[in-house]
Structure formats: C-alpha cells, structure tokens
Amino acid sequence: MSTVPKPTPTPAADPLDSLFRPVAVEFFAGIGLARMGLEEAGFRIDWANDIERSKAEMYRAQFGEPSDLDKATDPDRSPGYFLGDVTKVKAKHMPENVRLAWASSPCVDVSLAGARLGMKGERSSMFYQFTRVIGEMGEYKGRPDVIVLENVVGLATSHGGEDLAAAIDTMNGLGYSVDVLTLDARSFVPQSRPRLFLVGVREDKVPASQPGANPVLRPDWLRATLTRLAGRGLEIHQARLPDLPDVSVGELSTIVDDRADEWWDAERSVKFLNSLSPMQAKRLGELQEKSRDAPLYRTAYRRTRDKTPMWEIRADDIAGCLRTARGGSSKQALVRIHGNDVRVRWMTSVEYARLMGADDYNLKDVKRAGQALFGFGDAVCVPVVAWLAKNYLKPVIDGTFQPGGDSEEPDVDVEESSTMRPLAEIHG
C-alpha cells in the first residue's frame, strides 16, 4: 500500500455542523450550480475545483471563494478551492470527514452534441482522475459514503454501453454499488435538459434494490442496459425513489428577462423569417394565430440543412438544452410572437440562469455575456441536484433512507436503516 504524505492543514470545522450538514467536495465545479443544489439539501461544500478561470471568477463572485485566484492555482496553498488540472489533486488536499464526492465530469467526448470519442477522450477521461483521488482517500482518510458522477445521457450508449460499463466497474472497484438514473430539468424548469447520474453507494450503506422501480428515472432503454450489465457481474442496484414532479412546470414566459430590449432590427428580423423552411413558416403562422390576444415565447436554433444555415423554432413552450459553443451547437434565440408582431433576440444571461434554476445567481460582476452563457451552458440544473440530494444522497448518508421517500429525520443515535444491505446480499 502506498504511503501518502500528511495533508495540508485545513481550517477546523464545528463537529456539530459536520454532523447535521455532511461535508461534500465538488470536482469539476464549473460555476457552482451543483453546490447550490447540494447546499439547499443540507450539505456543506468544503472543497471544489475547476480548470477554467472564467468559471472560477463566477464561482468566486457567487460564493466568495477562492479569495485569491492566483493562489488557488496551487492546491497546497488553497485548501478550499483549486483552480487547475485535476491530475494535480491528491487525497491530502481533501478536507476531513468527506461524506459525498460529486463530479460533473467533462462530457463533450460522450455528448450527443460532441465528438462521441467516449471515456477515452481527453476530457471525459478526467473521470478516472476523480476516481483516482477517491481511491487514495480510501488508503489515507476514508472513502466518502457516496460518490456521484453527473454526465450527459450519451454516456449510457457511448461505444455500445461499454463506457458506462467501464465507469460502473471502476466505481465497483472502489467499493461502491452503482445506481444509474436519468433526470430531465423540465420537471423543474422550462428547459429540456436530460442528464445521467451514476450514484455510487458504499457497500455498508446500499439501499434495498427494487428492479423496475421508477420507470421515469430508469426508462426502458436504460433499464435494459442495466439488466445486461448486472448479468456481467457488475454491482448495480435500483433504489425506489419518490416520483418526480409533473413535467409541466410553467411556460417559457416565466423566465423572460423583461429588462432586455436588444431585439434585432428590422433587417436582421427579416433575414430570420426568410431563413425559415416551409414547415417552420407554417409553425410560425399557427403560433401567430394563437397569440392574437397575448404574446407567446419560443426559442430558436440556427441549424445547417443541406449546407444552408436556417433557423428552426421549437414547437413546445420550453427551451432546448442550453449548450456551449464547445459542445458543437449554437446558442439559442428568444422569439416573441404577438399576432403579426414577431421579434427576435439572443437569450440573456439572466434567462440562462433562470432556466438552470439559479434565479438569484450573482451576475453583476460578470464582465462578458459570453462568460455567463458558457458557464450556465456547461452546468447542471440546481433543482435537479437538490431533488436528488434531498431524496437519495443525504438520506443514504444519514442512514434514514426509506424506499419511495418519507425519509426520517436523522438522530444522533440512529442505527443503520433496515433497508440497507451489503453488496453480497443484494447479488446473492
């Protein structure tokens, strides 16, 4: 077993605070939206990292840390936040008593909008740096109770499911049984944003597995993959969780930034209308008829069809998945339709924040609109994280998990929940 150096001292924490607010660390933190969701669920984030300085600037504006971005580039000098390559992170940099490790691993190599290079791609392979640190923690200061990988749904099908199998196998090797879920942000905000979550639970805290539970969280295409992978000997469980909120959560109009007035001029608007295909023009006409009494809002993407750029308007009353230019897709425009009056403009940073469930995010110090759009387009939706953490992650950590929800409040002397079973029992 390797010898790991003594850790850099970290500020002392109130032990009672740690008891009722379990400590979490956030790898590939971006602008901190996962942190917002975890804090809403009762976690305390004691360490985070990212490699993008522009995202770290937004993170600091929101959370007040790191206090010194230049100092944060040295993991030995910045115990709470590291700005740099995750390959430099060691177990000694982790705080004490970590109960949850969250990783929103770079997804461009498995994204449906990316190059589909899989987990061997340069960015998505950062997952293995995350699991390396978790492995080192097991040797040095104890593994977290739960680890989570958040990624695009393309991970489930990348290389015929072999990338998902490799990720699960790696987490199994660290002593975690893995649950795989898909959640769409449209259950909470008017945005279509499906994401995949791999929830690794340490073997002494695994909840009872109920195959077939929660078909919305584990649709047929995903459940079939999980059944096949379990047959290969991978340690997989399916915890029964509460039902998600209804998909219909409000209209796109609820996130519109009323202060924005940068509507395109007449010439640019005419170009937009002229670029619509006959089918798109028909759709617009139908929306114009529906909006005689009150305005409607839709989003639009610029696509290339038969080598010709053209605009396409969404038919439904939600935004498409917010993306970054690095993901291979254009940013979205907002279309306001009120009878014959059709106006178009780019979506604002405020609207991006609202679509990610981060309505109160601090944008006053953001220097460039593109900086905010990049940060939000490369993030995870806040209420999605909060729902998962409240209904799954924290109850498992507290030992209060109850299948289907209604988890009990933690007690100082609470015994391990009767719903917890070791891996060997689950898989015979």
Annotated active-site positions, please?
Answer: 107
Distance of CA 5 to the CA centre of its chain: 33
- Residue of 98, 84, 93 whose CA lies nearest to 38: 98
List, in sequence order, every residue forming a beta bridge with 87; answer none if it has no partner.
Answer: none
Phi, psi (rounded to 5 degrees) for 240:
-85, 120
Residue pair 66/80 in contact by the 8 Å Cβ criterion: yes
Residues 6+ apart with CB under 8 A from 267: none
Residue pair 327/376 in contact by the 8 Å Cβ criterion: no
In the chain, what's the furthest Cα-to-Cα distance?
72
Alpha carbon of 21 to those of 42, 383, 410: distances in Å? 6, 19, 11
- Residue of 99, 212, 233, 67 whose CA lies nearest to 165: 233
- Measure the CA–CA gap between 11 and 14, rounded to whole angstroms: 10
Tokens found for residue 90: 């060691």
List, in sequence order, every residue forming a beta bridge with 198; answer none if it has no partner.
Answer: 149, 180
Residue pair 24/100 in contact by the 8 Å Cβ criterion: yes
Give the side-chain half-sphere CA count within 13 A for 390.
Answer: 15
Continuous segment of H or E residues that includes residue 266: helix 266-274
- Measure the CA–CA gap between 114 and 293, rounded to whole angstroms: 41
Alpha carbon of 74 to those of 70, 91, 388: distances in Å? 8, 15, 32
The string of DSSP codes covering 201-259 is EEGGGPBPP-TT--TTTS-HHHHHHHHHHHTTT--B-----PPPPPS----GGGG--TT
Question: What value does the CA radius of gyration of the chain take, rounded to a whole number of Å?
Answer: 23
- Residue of 405, 417, 414 whose CA lies nearest to 20: 414
Tokens found for residue 154: 């393309």
